[in-house]
Amino acid sequence: MEKVVIIGGNAAGLTAAARAKRIDPRLSITVLEKLPHISYSTCGIPYFLSNLVTPESLISYSPESFEKERGIKVKTQVRVESIVPSRRRVEGSRVDTGEKVSFPFDRLLVSTGVKPRLPDVPGTSLQNVFTMVNIGDAMRIREPLQTARNIVIVGAGYVGLELAECFHSLGKTVHIFEKEPQVLSSIDPDMAAIIDYELRRYGVGISVSAKLLALVGNKDRVDGVKTASGLGVMPADIVLLDTGVEPNSDLTAETDIRIGQAGGIAVNANMETTVPGIYAAGNCAETWCPIRRRPVLNFIGTVAAKQGRIAGENMAARRSRFFGAIGTTVLKVFDLNVARTGLSSREGAMERMDVVSERIEAQDRTSYYPDARKLWVKLIVERAGRKLIGAQVVGYGDASKRIDIAATAITAGMRIDELSQLDLAYSPPYSSLWDAVLVAAQAVMRKL
Ligand SMILES: Cc1cc2nc3c(=O)[nH]c(=O)nc-3n(C[C@H](O)[C@H](O)[C@H](O)COP(=O)(O)OP(=O)(O)OC[C@H]3O[C@@H](n4cnc5c(N)ncnc54)[C@H](O)[C@@H]3O)c2cc1C
């Protein structure tokens, strides 16, 4: 019986395991996970910490139920420490007992996610300083969160912003320090300004262009954050570091598994690494970007699951290709819906593309209909080919519908002229006669 070993028991790893088993039930599949849990929704952490959802609802399968329903072996609390391709084995130890373990494989999947990147300042190892990449982090912050009054978030990426709302909903005083001149640097500054306004409207403090100097503590516990912003030491009972993540590719050291130009595990379209029979999927692997036509890093769950599915199919000997991803995300920041896809204006410029963009303000439905809500839509077009390469939607109406239209248009290689006439559904409760995306397309065409 062919042996498949999967390192990492979440989005990419479990999707791969389930898919491979479904295609070839004869495979003997073992998932190795260092945490006590598998199959947890990292994306749901902000809502779990806000007490909107229960801890149980974040976990789809226990190791036992996954084993039973899928016929896949799951070993939790097993940390893989090395991959030995020449002997077709992985080696590691049990987190709880320290016992050494080793698993042979015919095919292997590395789906180990990301690891946090810490800022290079004193104090990051003080108590009550947290990062947030998995359910273990969420469990650890829960208790100190009960009594904390002042929380500082360093970094205004999407995790920082989601958690700012979460902590605010729990009655905490929240301040965000961001080193860039704007929040959420994956979108353009004029769109980020709307989020900045929303955060301040809810009383979240924000310092942009902030230089972090140190996390300061009383004995071993953090009690403030020192920056060069002239604010002195900002009091903090908890500090959340959202200062970036990087692919967790440590296990590839001392193997021929290559790390790519973007910094993740290099894979081909079948999600196979440079060592035949060893695959990588999810946030530890690189992702093909069809707009830039090169691999990039992509730290989102939707892409991890798709890559896992393709890896699973190929490990079960079906030839499937992953077509890539363009960075489509959506998040909620208080009453705002924030979505982006493709390249931002800055990213377009970094690729030396001649881009034209326009932002429009519109309503999400016919303005006379009750509860019509404001939306800002920005489209980014490559001048020569007139192709849509990026879109951002921020507003109080449905941003995700508009961004999904734009993501589809970009993926299909649609010209802005075609997008401006796209046959979209209309009735007053859902849209305007000319949907906001169509209005934005017409607006950007006037500049071409
Ligand atoms: C707060 C938060 C909110 C998010 N919200 C969204 C969202 O709304 N939408 C979205 O698309 N994405 C979201 N994401 C991102 C999404 O959760 C990740 O992209 C996704 O979980 C990545 O899946 P993965 O399988 O690659 O890695 P992970 O889900 O991180 O799984 C990797 C697993 O590997 C295990 N592991 C690592 N090393 C070893 C080892 N040596 N031995 C054994 N096991 C190991 C880890 O413990 C982990 O369980 C969010 C992330 C966070 C932190």
Confidence of residue 56 (pLDDT cuts 50, 70, 90): confident
Would you give the DSSP letter of residue 386?
Answer: T
Ligand 1: residues with CB < 6 A are 7-13, 32-35, 42-43, 45-46, 79-80, 111-113, 132-134, 159, 248, 251, 282-283, 299-302, 304
> What CA–CA distance (Å, rounded) separates 160 from 174?
11
* 448 CA from centroid of ligand 1 (Å): 41
Nearest CA to ligand 1 atom 3: 43
Mean of the per-residue pLDDT values for the chain? 97
Atom of ligand 1 nearest to the CA of 32: 43
**C-alpha triplet 15, 16, 17: angle, nearest 5°:** 95
pLDDT, tens digit (0-9, with 9 covering 90-100), for 362-382? 999 999 999 999 999 999 999
* 106 CA from centroid of ligand 1 (Å): 25
Confidence of residue 224 (pLDDT cuts 50, 70, 90): very high
Q: What is the mean pLDDT of residues 13-30?
A: 97
Q: What is the mean pLDDT of residues 199-227?
A: 96
Q: Exposure string (b/e) for 332-360, b if CB count within 10 Å is 16 or more?
A: bbbebbbbbbbbbbbbbeebebebbbbbb
Q: What is the mean pLDDT of residues 5-10?
A: 97
Q: Best of 112, 246, 252 to mutate for ligand 1, by most ligand atoms within 8 A of CB?
A: 112
Atom of ligand 1 nearest to the CA of 42: 17
pLDDT at position 185 is 97
pLDDT, tens digit (0-9, with 9 covering 90-100), for 79-122? 999 999 999 999 999 999 999 999 999 999 999 999 999 999 99
Query: Do 390 and 342 meet the contact criterion of CB atoms below 8 Å apart?
Result: yes
Q: Following DSSP, what letter does each residue of 198-265 receive, concatenated?
A: HHHHTT-EEESSPPEEEEEEETTEEEEEEESSS--EEE-SEEEE---EEE--GGGTTSSPPB-TTSSB
pLDDT at position 81 is 98
Confidence of residue 229 (pLDDT cuts 50, 70, 90): confident
Q: What is the mean pLDDT of residues 59-78?
A: 95
Atom of ligand 1 nearest to the CA of 285: 26
pLDDT at position 55 is 83
Strand partners, 245: 116
CA 23 to each of CA 18, 19, 83, 107, 304: distance values in angstroms, whole numbers, following the listed order: 9, 6, 26, 15, 19
Nearest CA to ligand 1 atom 35: 8
* 187 CA from centroid of ligand 1 (Å): 23
- What is the share, in percent, of the chain residues with pLDDT greater than 70? 100
pLDDT of 230 above 80: no
Does residue 35 come out as left (phi exceeding 0), alpha (psi in the -120 to 50 range) or beta?
beta
pLDDT at position 218 is 86
pLDDT of 293 above 90: yes
Q: Record the pTM.
A: 0.96
Nearest CA to ligand 1 atom 7: 43
> What CA–CA distance (Å, rounded) separates 185 from 180?
7
Atom of ligand 1 nearest to the CA of 308: 25
Q: Best of 45, 52, 300 to mutate for ligand 1, by most ligand atoms within 8 A of CB?
A: 300
For 178, residues 6+ apart whose C-beta sits below 8 A from its C-beta are: 155, 156, 160, 206, 207, 208, 209, 210
CA 89 to each of CA 39, 194, 279: distance values in angstroms, whole numbers, following the listed order: 24, 51, 14
pLDDT at position 442 is 98
* 109 CA from centroid of ligand 1 (Å): 15
pLDDT of 302 above 80: yes
pLDDT, tens digit (0-9, with 9 covering 90-100), for 137-162? 999 999 999 999 999 999 999 999 99
* 8 CA from centroid of ligand 1 (Å): 9
pLDDT, tens digit (0-9, with 9 covering 90-100), for 376-426? 999 999 999 999 999 999 999 999 999 999 999 999 999 999 999 999 999
For 239, residues 6+ apart whose C-beta sits below 8 A from its C-beta are: 126, 128, 129, 130, 151, 152, 153, 154, 215, 222, 225
